Structure 1
Amino acid sequence: EVPGEFIVLFLFLSIQTFNTTNVTKLCPGAQCTFAFYGGESLYHKYIFIFQLANAFVFLWLVNFAIALGQCTLAGAFASYYWASRKPADIPLWPLFSSFGRAIRYHTGSLAFGALILAIVQLIRVILEYLDHKLKGTQNSFTRFLLCCLKCCFWCLERFLKFINRNAYIMIAIYGKNFCTSAKEAFFLLMRNVVRIPVFAQEAPALNYYWVPLLTVIIGSYLVAHGFFSVYAMCVDTLFLCFCKLRKEKYYFVFQTHSSMHA
């Protein structure tokens, strides 16, 4: 352990060295501060805010990585669906081509969608923190209000994940911005809401989480989850392409019928 006298001497010499340099002339607002245990510095005073900022950036990066993967898969599957002559019109490397388009043209849209989701997730983290702090309180109304907020933001997160997923598919197909793609995907799904349960049944999800946990085979869970994620993304992309193609065919038939009776 370092004696306290040496620490005081080191701080004194550091301050004297700082005062004798020309740092204050180059940077008039520069100050020499030290971080002490016990919250003496600005870092310790605002450490909770810094931790929230780190958590927010982490959530943003994770959601951006997920969005990039979903957009890449959607672009690869859509290039197969919209190819007139298969396999002549399919790109040689559809996955790499889709990844390049997503990085080059759609980074801002993907980051914006990830930002919205990260904000909601950060609010959920704060609510969980408050719930942990107020667990021993006797105020029933506070606990009820906190429980309602947690439920509402959980539903909001699920809804945003659904919107973002389909928005990324439309971004990969048509290259429009996030808001326009989300609106078109939402109304396209609402016009074909009857078909959604049929496609949802064809894209199974890994619901029985206790199986890999009881058998202690974490690797099998990761492989299965990754496989079904790709499979579900393929089904969702093809479904939106089908709905869009059906809408365009209906519009073409309607225009032809109107011109014949004009």
Structure 2
Amino acid sequence: MICFHFCYEVTLLIMVETTLVILMIFLGTRLSIPVTLLKEGSRAISHIMSTLFYPLITFLLLAICVSYSAVTAVFLASSGEAVYKVTAADHQCVYANLTCSLLTFNQTNVTKVCPGAQCMFAFYGGESLYHQYILVLHLCNLFVVLWLVNFIYALGQCTLAGAFASYYWAPRKPKDIPPFPLYSSFSRAIRYHTGSLAFGSLILAWVQVVRVVLMYLDHKLKGSQNCVARFLVCCLRCCFWSLERFIKFLNKNAYIMIAIYGKNFCTSSKDAFSLLMRNILRVATLDCITWFLLFIGKLFIAGVASILTLVFLRLFQEFLPTVNYVLVPIVVRKLRHEPSSLLKQSRGLNSCLLFLF
């Protein structure tokens, strides 16, 4: 028999859920516009149900790009040859640290000049021009995969924005909604806006590569005593992190303008930035409240699922393997079943409707 009085996990989850509901009640009229936009977004999704399956296309394209990059990285890493060097007990040996060959080492006079010297494996690599610039090739591979990944995300944002724009501008819904709006928007993005999407993705990819290089430098400087260099690298990492977030935000809105008006990337970025600056307070308020509403939605779904999981574990505890701490399977289940595509897609849809509004 279950005694909920002693189930502190259930009590904690119920308190969290109650707090969230009270917050929703007391926010009152401030939620009217964001709620209206979310309602309109829900209607748009209900009329264009194919948008719910577009994340599968994004996942497939991302899997292809990441697989290609991984295969390329493995090929580059395995393209080196085994390098052997002479190791001698006497560091004054003239042959010390010179490259050698296992096949011909015993036929040379190295052991005569340096008694006890051996031909030992040093590393995988090489001394050719190709092997000297292998790190540059890895950076190029990283840059290409970042560019492709950003382009795939940009294509998805532009496609969804175009599909929802066709819904918004339809005079009589759903009668005047064009047939296959998602496919039509995807075709337009591929045919007319590939260059704009690639250019925006290129800018973001450069910033991300610089961030990766700074992370590598910060990792190398962790054991260093040069505090000034570590401080400068840390400051640069913060600056480029902020720059990346800003470019992502600007690109997202530029792609929406591209999907709506069909202009190039630079013009769309300028128009999007001007529109945002003219309505900065409204945009900031709506964006924060929308994020908070979606966050509450995620917490509510996760909380209800966690309560049901906890009740299930308590009811059928005797039929299940021994669980030392019941919150572990609950957290794992929450992470595996993150409330997903509809809530994650809703924020981008809200931005699109805000521009149309």
Normalised by the length of structure 1, the TM-score is: 0.73
Rounded to whole Å, the distance in 2 between the matches of 1:206 and 1:129 is 33
- Specify the SS of the correspondent of 1:195: helix
Higher strand share: 2
Q: Percent identity?
A: 61
Larger CA Rg, structure 1 vs 2: 2
Deviations 1:139-197 (A, max 9, x none): 11101100100000000000000000000000000010000001000101111112113
> In the alignment, is residue 202 of structure 1 matched against residue 318 of structure 2?
no
Corresponding residue to 1:219 among 336, 339, 342: 336
- Tell me, yes or no, if the aligned pair for 1:113 and 1:178 is still in contact at 8 Å: yes
Counterpart of 2:272, as a letter, is A
- Tell me, yes or no, if the aligned pair for 1:60 and 1:115 is still in contact at 8 Å: yes
CA RMSD of aligned residues (A): 2.6
Question: CA 1:197–1:37 in structure 2 vs 1: closer, same or farther (change >3 Å)?
Answer: closer
Counterpart in the other structure of 1:181? 268
Counterpart in the other structure of 1:31? none
Deviations 1:42-87 (A, max 9, x none): 2211010000000000100100000000001101111111112222
> In the alignment, is residue 156 of structure 1 matched against residue 272 of structure 2?
no
Count of aligned pairs between the two proteins: 209
Counterpart of 2:144, as a letter, is V
Rounded to whole Å, the distance in 1 between the matches of 2:265 and 2:130 is 37
Counterpart in the other structure of 1:10? none
Corresponding residue to 2:168 among 57, 60, 81: 81
Corresponding residue to 2:344 among 207, 229, 238: 229
Rounded to whole Å, the distance in 2 between the matches of 1:110 and 1:38 is 38
Corresponding residue to 1:54 among 141, 149, 161: 141
> In the alignment, is residue 105 of structure 1 matched against residue 221 of structure 2?
no
Question: CA 1:74–1:39 in structure 2 vs 1: closer, same or farther (change >3 Å)?
Answer: same
- Specify the SS of the correspondent of 2:197: helix
Question: CA 1:206–1:150 in structure 2 vs 1: closer, same or farther (change >3 Å)?
Answer: farther
Task: Give unmatched runs, 5+ long, in structure 2.
Answer: 1-100, 105-122, 307-326
- Tell me, yes or no, if the aligned pair for 1:73 and 1:230 is still in contact at 8 Å: no
Rounded to whole Å, the distance in 2 between the matches of 1:106 and 1:38 is 43
Counterpart of 2:138, as a letter, is Q
Distance apart, 1:38 and its partner CA: 3.5
Counterpart in the other structure of 1:124? 211
- Runs of 4 or more, structure 1, over 3 Å off, are 3-6, 203-214
> In the alignment, is residue 70 of structure 1 matched against residue 187 of structure 2?
no
Corresponding residue to 2:355 among 232, 240, 245: 240
- Specify the SS of the correspondent of 2:253: helix
Deviations 1:72-118 (A, max 9, x none): 11011111111122222211111111111111111110000000000
Normalised by the length of structure 2, the TM-score is: 0.54
Rounded to whole Å, the distance in 1 between the matches of 2:125 and 2:163 is 54
